[in-house]
Amino acid sequence: MPHSTDKQFFTEDEALDFHRLPRPGKLAVQPTKPMATQRDLSLAYSPGVAVPVLAIAKDEDLAYDYTSKGNMVAVISNGTAILGLGNLGAMASKPVMEGKSVLFKRFADVDSFDVEVQTTDPEEFVTVVKNIGATWGGINLEDIKSPECFVIESQLQDLLDVPVFHDDQHGTAIISTAGLINAVEIAGKKLEDVKVVLVGAGAAGLSSIGLMKSVGVRAENTVIIDRDGVVYKGRDNVDQWKAAHATDTPLRTLEEAMVGADVVLGLAAKGAITKEMVASMAPRPIIFAMANPDPEITPEDVKSVRDDAIIATGRSDYANQVNNVLGFPYIFRGALDVRARQVNHEMKVACARALAQLAREDVPDEVAIAYRGRKLKFGPEYIIPTPFDPRLIWYIPPFVAQAAMDTGVARKPIEDMEAYRTELRQRVDPSAALMQKISSAVRAEPNKRVVFAEGEEPQVIRAAYGFKQGNLGTPILIGREELIRQNAAEAGLNFDDLGIEITNAKVSHKNQEYTDWLFERLQRRGYLRRDVQRMINQDRNYFGATMCAHGDADCMVTGVTRNFNMALREVRRVLDVTDRMIGMSIVLAKGRTLFVADTSIHELPTAEDLAEIAVKAANTVRKLGRQPRVAFLSYSTFGNPPGDRSEKVRDAIRILDSMGVDFEYEGEMPPELALNPEARANYPFMRLSKDANVLVMPAIHSAAISTQLVQALGAATVIGPILVGLEKSVQIVPLGASVTEIITAATFAAYEESVVEED
């Protein structure tokens, strides 16, 4: 297996388990029609299915109306160029193809199947795809080596009446061209004047230089470098695709070509570009080092010789990531929605220009939240949108669709483009990206020191390792160093040079200071000094929480080895509550994000408690980048039927009325009214402008049972409960929590601490 890179924050076993558990693979089929009755069966299959069969037999275009073809793409490969791993065979490409299908669904709600073709013969490959290609609304070719990929794509475009798109070529070309348009603008230059050097004359490189020429770069200002040096006119052993971009130049080496160059495009390998080459470039150089996993030259090396450079890479841990996911989902979304016959040159240009334009627009808060500490603004550090920008789904496809319509390849033109944009906004809810945004926000903050209280536990050690490798902060493991290192070695982890700290509470030089402080805090609560000394020596929750109280750590995660209430009691003896402490669970289900409170603290809240829970939850949700709309849930609907608990909810509403809060709220009501606009039609007096996203439960049992039930049924992903309201952020995971759960809790702890500091 390939070696892990320095930036990789998972083990090989974790990668295998991710693909194997709880069921193999990353894809499944879900029906779009109910199959609950005999009538459903009759309609879905025999005899009802005969009706659309006969209709399609008369007019094949009706397959778009009566089948899933119109929202279905095939991701097809023969495995001859898998990632950076080479020709490993068709079946080895399957995990990558499944992953591509997942991205189609996640970012653009495009359904997809992967198809692996067992041949390296281009003609045989074309024949196979030609004979099955009409099944789908589009074909995404992937991981096919150059130059065969050019032949395959070209022939299939001619043979099929659906879009055929080789993402390794055109995806990179589109994103890098968008970045170049903006980088040239920022550098104060013009596309027609810049001198561009391409390092790496493969499929992606040649497609990129071709698309850049179409937006204004002059052919005579380009130089292409392959393994044998400059591709110049008249050179021997140059294939037709490279020859099409050959220039009449005296330059013969990369070093010569880089002198005075304005732009260098790296699509080669680590180390291909040196600092000396960068130093020889023109003022305000533009450097796109896009090799993965390691760029041709790192941004750090570039900045060491050129502080005026504009830099992009293919990596997510640097600014300006050239990521194909910015392109292919939205190109196919637009192409499918107009039932395009192909993805033509004009559609690619439209996508590149749309991406460039989006980066110049004001960045909304829900995007900026992923980069806490700096406001994203068009400039050297932000020349292309971020992959998790929720505007992409409704901003990019309309430009692609319009280009298809303008060039006559659209079967079904869109009549109302504004209505189409509205439809796209509703199609994919960006809430599924919540954790990515939170993680990005934490990475953008000053480094947070996070206590992992149960530091000897193997899953805690692995979580700390993953947390650090993810650049989320500095983990501090509490425990016996020898045992921690032993357990780490057994897990195959070596973090000597990683910056993970280990603290043994019993022998810490802070032991006496912490004991003195905690005894002063607890001496009038029935604790003797020897009790406190034992707590500091032997209980990692007390020691870890005291570290946070003293500023020796920023936040903490615990709970793996003891239940929630026990862990919370221990932490509460050390840390104060700021105003109101609540537990809030985040439920991600069917395109919705719901925040449920209180799921862990208040067993039978009073009306005053409920009102304060609502205020705290609404404030927290707003800090997560959402506009809170609060529903107080109950078995009762505005007094019918009456009951003690529903009366407390009504009192809470009256309390909020008197407080004059700045968020929408309503109650008491069952979940149907909170989440279904049709149900609310019978209650015209309701104050919710849209579906509620914050659900305040009447008691802890209803909150905990409801969230755990939907999670157990697999109907939703539940994060939390997230603990909010302590003077220092502490998150408590469930007993026996997984590595992922611990990393998630630690990430929220670091995020919440950043929010508290900003307040």
Based on the number of CB atoms within 10 Å of its own CB, is 361 exposed (0-12), middle (13-18) or buried (19 or more)? Answer: exposed
* Main-chain dihedrals φ then ψ at residue 314, nearest 5 degrees: -95, 10
CA distance 544 to 671: 39
CA distance 331 to 308: 33
Within a 10 A sphere around the Cβ of 51, how many other Cβ atoms? Answer: 11
| Residue corresponding to tokens 């939390």 | 720
**Contact call for residues 483 and 458 (beta carbons, < 8 A):** no
The contacts found for 375-378 with CB under 8 angstroms, 24 or more apart, are: 378/182, 378/186
Sign of CA dihedral 68, 72, 78, 84: negative
583 Cβ contact partners less than 8 Å away, ≥ 6 residues apart: 597, 598, 599, 600, 601, 720, 721, 722, 723, 724
Question: What does the block give as tokens for 148?
Answer: 């065969």
CA distance 706 to 114: 36
Question: What does the block give as tokens for 25?
Answer: 């693979």
CA distance 119 to 77: 10
Report the amino acid identity of residue 454: E
Report the amino acid identity of residue 61: D
CA distance 455 to 486: 12
Residue of 730, 732, 728, 731 lying closest to 756 (CA atoms): 728
Q: Print the SS3 string covering 128-197.
A: HHHHHHHHCCEEEECCCCCCHHHHHHHHHHHHCCCCEEEHHHHHHHHHHHHHHHHHHHHCCCCCCCCCEE
CA distance 115 to 244: 32
> Quick one: angle between helices 167-186 and 148-159, nearest 10?
100
Q: What angle do CA 677, 682, 684 make, to 5 degrees?
A: 85
| Residue corresponding to tokens 């880089």 | 258
Residue of 700, 670, 698 lying closest to 686 (CA atoms): 670
| Residue 242 known to be catalytic | no
CA distance 697 to 605: 9
| Residue 45 known to be catalytic | yes
Sign of CA dihedral 470, 473, 478, 482: positive
Chain centre to alpha carbon of residue 436: 4
Q: Print the SS3 string covering 345-361.
A: HHHHHHHHHHHHHHHHC
CA distance 366 to 368: 6
Exposure string over 178-217, b if 16+ CB within 10 A, otherwise e: bbbbbbbebbebebeebbbbbbbbbbbbbbbbbbbbebeb
CA distance 488 to 459: 10
CA distance 319 to 434: 20
The active-site residue out of 7, 26, 69, 100 is 100
CA distance 178 to 352: 5
Question: What does the block give as tokens for 646?
Answer: 């529903």
Based on the number of CB atoms within 10 Å of its own CB, is 4 exposed (0-12), middle (13-18) or buried (19 or more)? Answer: middle
The active-site residue out of 7, 45, 375, 635 is 45
Specify the 3-state DSSP secondary structure of 422: helix
Where in the sequence numbering do the catalytic residues fall? Answer: 45, 100
